[in-house]
Amino acid sequence: MIKPNTTLQQEKKHIAIFASGAGSNAQKIIDYFTSQPALQKERRAKVALIVCNNPKAGVLKIAEKENIPSLLIERNKFYEDGYLSELKNYHIGLIVLAGFMWKVPAELIQSYQNKIINIHPALLPKFGGKNMYGNFVHEAVIKAGEKESGITIHYVDEIYDHGKIIFHAKCRVEEDDTPQSLAEKIHALEHKHYSSIIEKIIT
Ligand code: GAR
């Protein structure tokens, strides 16, 4: 009888969150996986590493507070080797982008085929691509007169905001919405859905 490849499954449950900013999504994901002992114990899923490209990012403070190792990455090395050996050292099997502002290098995408996901603060394929991040997205949505916006969770491939879509959730854009008020609605949707989608992917 062929034994199932348990090693691969277990490793998939070691999550690395890549983030560049405040890290509110990272915090929600950490809370989700630590607040459910069954998830940790039986399924052994955990946030094992925070990867960050910005020494001033709030997400690094979150990592410290939560006792999660963090890795501050440097651009040249990232595009040379994708920090692959560091990720392997932490047995990372799933990479979760949560407000990560650098393009993921091809080397990393090839090594983690269908194991890198991203959350985008609009309804892709609209309002995606280079320079479409954070408030720029909400400004563009309002300027275009859209009646609805939302979030997209998708696999990451070599093209910005292009990989296979896993999940959409929508919200209304009201006439008096500002980029800030829209950002709040979008963050609420992200906080509500990202963790459970990650759980589904892992299990
Ligand atoms: C989130 O809204 C996320 O969708 C967005 O950055 C924000 C990070 O917030 N990502 C992008 O715009 C990527 N194109 P957070 O640091 O509070 O989690």
Domain boundaries, the chain: 13-113, 121-152+169-203
- Least confident residue range of 10-14, 18-22, 56-60, 173-177: 10-14
Bridge partners (DSSP) listed for residue 49 = 16
Q: CA 157, 201, 162 angle in degrees (round to 5)?
A: 20
Report which protein residue has its CA nearest ligand 1's atom 12. Answer: 133
pLDDT single digits (tens) 108-130: 999 999 999 999 999 999 999 98
Q: What is the mean pLDDT of residues 96-114?
A: 96
Report which protein residue has its CA nearest ligand 1's atom 8. Answer: 99
CATH no., domain 13-113: 3.40.50.170
Sheet containing 14-19, strands listed edge to edge, beginning at the edge strand earlier in sequence = 70-72, 46-52, 14-19, 94-97, 116-120, 148-155, 165-172
Catalytic residue flag (residue 168): no
pLDDT single digits (tens) 32-82: 998 876 655 556 689 999 999 999 999 999 999 999 999 999 999 999 999
Residue 19 CA: nearest ligand 1 atom is: 16
> Counting every residue, how long is the chain?
203
pTM of the predicted model as reported, rounded to 2 decimal places: 0.93
